[in-house]
Amino acid sequence: MVSRLPLEEKVLADLRPTQAEKDHVCGLAQRVLERIRQSGKADGMVVGSIARHTWVSGDRDLDIFMLFDPSLPREELETQGLALARSIASSFTENYHEKYAEHPYINATIDDVDVDLVPCYNVDSAERIQSAVDRTPFHTRYITEKINGLIDDVLLLKRFTKAGGIYGSDQMTEGFSGYLCELLILHYGGFTPLLAAAAEWKPQAIIDIENHVAKEFDEPLVMIDPVDPKRNVAAAVSVDRMAEFVELARGYLESPSALFFELPKDSPITRDDLTTLIDRRGTSLFAITFPTPPYIEEIVVPQLKRSTSAICEHLARNGFSVHHAHYRMEREECMILIELLVSELPAIRSHLGPPVWNRVNAEKFRSKYRDSSLPGPYIDNGRYETEVPREFRKAADLIKSEGMLQISLGKHVRQSLVNGWQVHEGRECWSPVFSSFIAGFFNRCSPFVRHEKESGNHNS
């Protein structure tokens, strides 16, 4: 039915799970479901991409929900649900532990498969859900019913977005979730029609498959959840990830290539290459590092993002113009990396005062500064202004100073900084664990441009 490019067929051959993989994962799923059934306490249901047959070969994420009676009080659900999950997991392996999203659940590694055992309520319509997890079975039912014939398209899209670095609704990626990929394929009827449509997307694009939107959304991309008219499935997609998808779509349609499905290579920078690079650029590089707060990525990464903005504003307020800044959370340490155009400034700066016409404030300002040995106060465009000594002549001194704790860092980032942080300069910013992050920092380009550069489609 669908005419597929040979290169896409070739990619698909690698993406489709093999029969052995399917047997292995589905066999395990059956055994877990059987245990739930035997318990007599809940219904078992496989959800996620394995249930929907939209999983990519090599994925090993088996999500099994345990649906309890909605009359069970919330506390009971957590106690009984967790007890059941624990008992089932322990009957397979000792390698399991409790995790926490909106509610607690059990994560176990069984026969090389990463299994989540999640208790939820078995409600009879999506309007009756009591928490976000209750919605997942409805997603699975919706997709499973309709996705027939489009599974290969979903696999291509997942790989296409993953290769572009825009797959995942996590805080670091701010990209496209698996469910969003499935809905996009459903709505547009395939991979190629989706790309043709996306090539013309503009922010505030709204897709409403069931034509039942019941709320206003201000995110750049809006995909109304078919099972919940008040939910935007694409809420996590940032405007930049959306623009990158648009760009990839245009690029692929214009000249399709296997490169669009190749996962980005990890290409760390060496300390010596960093030294040469900084030297050639003539910029000043600073890294702020501190122990990673003991919380999950979904908590820490947004705080890192906010902290990075706050530090950039703190630098800018003090006259240091930030060229580029980015952040990275690793297991032990976080890094905020900042490239400045200028890292040293003169001893003086201008300080703006009130308009002369505002007599009370004007006289306060003048009498506060008239005794200074520096020029001023003088009048510029009807306002007082004066010169004052610059508090921080060196950017390094500023980001080493206590004032860092006064700016708007996230709660847990701040708690970590209270115990101290390190400031590295120039080549000293390099460390093995951040060497890929630093390489990416200096190799900024959009996913499509990266494909173009890697394909050698350039002159220099």
Q: At its nearest, how many Å lie between a copy of itself and the CB of residue 234?
A: 15
Q: Does 268 bind a copy of itself (CB under 8 A)?
A: no
Q: Candidates 28-36, 79-87, 138-146, 372-380: pick the segment binding a copy of itself (CB under 8 A).
A: 372-380
The DSSP symbol for 94 reads S
Task: Provide the token pair at 73.
Answer: 């009080």
Q: At its nearest, how many Å lie between a copy of itself and the CB of residue 289?
A: 23
Rounded to the nearest 10 degrees, how much is the dihedral formed by the CA atoms of 383, 384, 387, 390?
Answer: -70
Q: At its nearest, how many Å lie between a copy of itself and the CB of residue 282?
A: 4
Q: At its nearest, how many Å lie between a copy of itself and the CB of residue 365?
A: 11
CB 335 within 8 A of CB 424: no
Task: Provide the token pair at 155.
Answer: 């696999």
Binding mask 423-442 for a copy of itself (x = CB under 8 A): -------------------x
Contacting a copy of itself within 319-338 (CB under 8 A): 319, 323
Contacting a copy of itself within 201-240 (CB under 8 A): 201-203, 220, 239-240
Task: Provide the token pair at 249.
Answer: 């779509």
Q: Candidates 104-112, 225-233, 363-371, 421-429: pick the segment binding a copy of itself (CB under 8 A).
A: 363-371
Q: At its nearest, how many Å lie between a copy of itself and the CB of residue 297?
A: 23
Judged by CB under 8 A, the residue of 59, 134, 182, 247 near a copy of itself is: 247
Measured between alpha carbons, how far is 171 from 242 in angstroms, rounded to an integer?
A: 15
Number of residues located near a copy of itself, criterion CB under 8 A: 63
**Phi/psi of residue 412, nearest 5 degrees:** -80, -30
Which residue is associated with the tokens 């013309």?
Answer: 200
Closest Cα partner for 105 from 91, 119, 88, 84? Answer: 119
Q: Does 452 bind a copy of itself (CB under 8 A)?
A: yes
CB 350 within 8 A of CB 321: no
Q: Does 316 bind a copy of itself (CB under 8 A)?
A: no
CB closer to a copy of itself, 98 vs 380: 380
Which residue is associated with the tokens 């664990």?
Answer: 433
Contacts of residue 77, Cβ cutoff 8 Å, sequence gap at least 6: 68, 103, 119, 120, 121
Residue 65 pairs in a beta bridge with 45, 118
Contacting a copy of itself within 373-412 (CB under 8 A): 373, 375-382, 384, 387, 393
DSSP string for residues in 214-261: -S---SSEEEEETTEEEEETTTT--HHHHHHHHHHHHHHHHS--GGGG
CB closer to a copy of itself, 142 vs 384: 384
The DSSP symbol for 263 reads P
Task: Provide the token pair at 321.
Answer: 């113009």
Q: Does 360 bind a copy of itself (CB under 8 A)?
A: no
Q: Does 81 bind a copy of itself (CB under 8 A)?
A: no
- List residues near a copy of itself by CB under 8 A: 199-203, 220, 239-240, 242-244, 246-247, 250, 280-283, 319, 323, 341-342, 345-350, 355-357, 359, 362-363, 366, 370-373, 375-382, 384, 387, 393, 442-446, 448-449, 452-453, 457-460
